[in-house]
Amino acid sequence: MRVLGINAIFHDPAAALVVDGTVVAAAEEERFSRRKHGKRPVAFSAWEPPEQAARWCLERAGLEPGDLDAVAYSYDPDLVEPGLDGHDEQWERLRTLYARRAPNFLAAALPGLDPGIVRYVPHHVAHAASAALAAPRPCDGDVLVLDGRGESHSHLAGTYSGGELTPLHAQRLPHSLGLMYEDLTEHLGFLRSSDEYKVMALASYGEPRFLDELREHVRATGDGGFAVAPIDWGALAKARSSEGEWTRDHADLAASVQARLEEVLLDLATWLHGRTGSRRLMLAGGVALNCVANSRLAADGPYDDIWVQPAAGDAGTALGAALHLAQDGGDAVTAMPGADLGRQWDDASIARYLDTAKVPYERPPDVAAAVAEALARNEIVAWFQGRSEFGPRALGHRSLLAHPGHAANIERLNDVKGREQFRPIAPMVALEHAAEIFDGPIPSPYMLFVHDVRPEWRERIPAVVHVDGTARIQTVASGHEPLVARLLEEFRLRTGLPVLVNTSLNTAGRPMVDDPRDALECFGSAPVDLLAIGPFVVRRREVRAR
């Protein structure tokens, strides 16, 4: 079967293509439109399909819309319960109407597509499939989905056996751990349904002194679900404006909510494990991007093995919906090969971009060695290599790299990106050296867990150590990422450090760089010393000389 998966209903619109059970391509619309998150999660944007991402997925496989056997849309309007608490009925009717019209919207965006082949996949089933069916084999095990909301629920707990999902519990709205975290994000002056990761970072600066109050409002119910009562955030800490300074109260509130989230997740995982006895848990949904909570589950939960979908947010439902329909159609689905599922350019195409931009560039004998030399001199490098990542993490394909041994590089990179200074920057580390430096789940190829930095290493790599002594690491295996692994080894030979700072190649409020033009624009507008794009390098001093 040739199945195109579509996520469009809330935010992070995306498309994914599965052919004969194999993941061929997946991309988020924001990488094409250059609009962060693709669109805001409001009902009147629900009609917008990820048409550029969908067209590219088809082009990647050499297919036309008419060649598809099915389109999997990751939301089922028939599952929306009218009159459900927490729904604004006027907006909900509009969102449901747009979902019902999705086949027509898609047919208009992709001429030649038969709207009759569009199939609705329940939102949380798509999330679950993105975790279980895309996971490394075997995929059998438990699955926990937690996000803001789907059709009428915010959570799904179930188990997979033989690739088939058995749901065991689903939490009805208005109770939602994801929406609770979004409410806190907005109260703290950040953009809801976008900046929740900033709250997670801020929590490390606080103490959970509001935890007892939150335990009265947020609790597991003992049947696999949970309850979230309305919270008067202002009674705990004064609301912060988007431009205001954060205070100790704000950090303590973030720490308290983070701690309560972790406690409830442990309760939910313990209940699920008690029903199944499985040793493996697979996670998806926006809450699964909370790497601190994931690490708490790994350390204190009942499961031996935890796998998190790298595109755990709504973008990943495009992939999950496609895999779900492919399996239903009789295909033997295979694990996703990695997160590098997006666009790429050959050397000749990159050279044409550079020639058109009229920037001086060179082709060193070994781009990894040339970049390692620059990094050893404490230069900041924009790194653009191979296929772009699917999901929110830069994993060595669209990255900003720096020396981890200089504490000042935290402020320096946050200035480059225009980010808040309380936010940490993450390390990539050669897999064979990871355990000697970091304590936590290893391997960790997708930056979805936090690790304690061993005390003897904290002064050696201060740029990647958060205020609480942790780091959100990416382990790099030479068999999967040979170029990045060689870069790390070249840097280690020069510095003794098998670690590099790795953050996403973008500036604040902009999506991650995706094509060569994006890379050149970012390099030209930010104080980056060197751009490594394919086998070529562009040096800042040469650009200035012109």
Q: List C-alpha distances in Å: 105 to 113, 277, 410.
A: 10, 44, 45
State the amino acid at position 150 in one-letter form.
Answer: G
Domain match, 539 and 398 both: yes
Domain match, 235 and 273 both: yes
Residues contacting 467, CB < 8 A, separation 6+: 204, 205, 422, 424
pTM of the model as a whole? 0.96
SS3 452: strand
Which single residue is written with the structure tokens 């439109």? Answer: 33
Q: Bridge-partner residues for 141, per DSSP?
A: 160
Domain match, 176 and 119 both: no
Give residue 24's pLDDT band: very low, low, confident or very high (50, 70, 90): very high
CA distance 447 to 411: 21
Residue 446, domain member (yes or no): yes
The pLDDT of 32-54, averaged and rounded, is 95
* Sign of CA pseudo-dihedral 70, 72, 73, 77: positive
Domain match, 298 and 319 both: no
pLDDT of residue 138: 74
The backbone region for 7, taken as left when phi is positive above 0, alpha when psi lies in -120 to 50, beta otherwise, is beta
pLDDT surpassing 60 at residue 533: yes
The pLDDT of 408-423, averaged and rounded, is 92
Determine the Cα angle at 513 with ends 509 and 519, to 5°: 120
pLDDT surpassing 60 at residue 101: yes
CA distance 395 to 505: 10
Give residue 85's pLDDT band: very low, low, confident or very high (50, 70, 90): low
Last residue of a domain, one of 329, 363, 393: 329
Strand pairing report for 530-533 and 536-539:
antiparallel
Domain match, 130 and 178 both: no
pLDDT surpassing 70 at residue 546: no
Domain match, 146 and 123 both: no
Residue 334, domain member (yes or no): no
Residue 421, domain member (yes or no): yes
Q: Bridge-partner residues for 164, per DSSP?
A: 161
Is 127 one of the catalytic residues? no
The backbone region for 34, taken as left when phi is positive above 0, alpha when psi lies in -120 to 50, beta otherwise, is left
Give residue 544's pLDDT band: very low, low, confident or very high (50, 70, 90): very low
Give residue 47's pLDDT band: very low, low, confident or very high (50, 70, 90): very high
- How many alpha carbons fall within 13 Å on the CB side of residue 217? 18
pLDDT surpassing 90 at residue 339: yes
> How many domains, the chain?
3
Q: Which of 139-143, 334-338, 540-544 has the lowest mean pLDDT?
A: 540-544
Task: Report the CATH number that the domain containing residue 95 is assigned in CATH.
Answer: 3.30.420.40
Q: Is 419 exposed, middle or buried (0-12, 13-18, 19+ CB in 10 A)?
A: middle
Domain match, 129 and 154 both: no
- Mean of pLDDT over the chain: 96
The pLDDT of 265-284, averaged and rounded, is 98
Domain match, 215 and 273 both: yes
Residue 400, domain member (yes or no): yes
Tens-place pLDDT, residues 303-338: 999 999 999 999 999 999 999 999 999 999 999 999
Top pLDDT among 139 and 315 is at 315
pLDDT surpassing 90 at residue 487: yes
CA distance 102 to 318: 14
Domain match, 302 and 320 both: no
Contact between 181 and 229 (Cβ < 8 Å): no
CA distance 159 to 164: 8
DSSP conformational letter for 49: -
Give residue 83's pLDDT band: very low, low, confident or very high (50, 70, 90): confident
Other CB atoms within 10 A of residue 421 CB:
8
Q: Is 410 exposed, middle or buried (0-12, 13-18, 19+ CB in 10 A)?
A: buried
pLDDT of residue 139: 78
Q: Describe the strand order of the beta sheet including 164-172 as a list of residue ranges.
A: 164-172, 153-161, 141-146, 280-284, 305-308
SS3 174: coil
Tens-place pLDDT, residues 209-266: 999 999 999 999 999 999 999 999 999 999 999 999 999 999 999 999 999 999 999 9
Domain match, 381 and 528 both: yes
Q: Encoding tokens for residue 99?
A: 């979902």
pLDDT of residue 89: 81
The pLDDT of 485-490, averaged and rounded, is 98
Domain match, 252 and 149 both: yes
Q: Percentage of the chain with pLDDT > 90?
A: 94
Give residue 84's pLDDT band: very low, low, confident or very high (50, 70, 90): confident
Residue numbers of the domain that contains 452: 343-544
Domain match, 119 and 50 both: yes
Residue 337, domain member (yes or no): no
Among candidate residues 235, 18, 249, the one with its CA nearest the CA of residue 126: 18
The pLDDT of 191-209, averaged and rounded, is 96
Residue 418, domain member (yes or no): yes
Tell me how many helices (H) and strands (E) the chain has.
Answer: 20, 22
pLDDT of residue 543: 42
Residue 338, domain member (yes or no): no
Determine the Cα angle at 300 with ends 299 and 304, to 5°: 65
Residue 336, domain member (yes or no): no
SS3 14: strand
Q: Which of these is catalytic: 11, 87, 397, 451? A: 11
Q: Percentage of the chain with pLDDT > 70?
A: 99
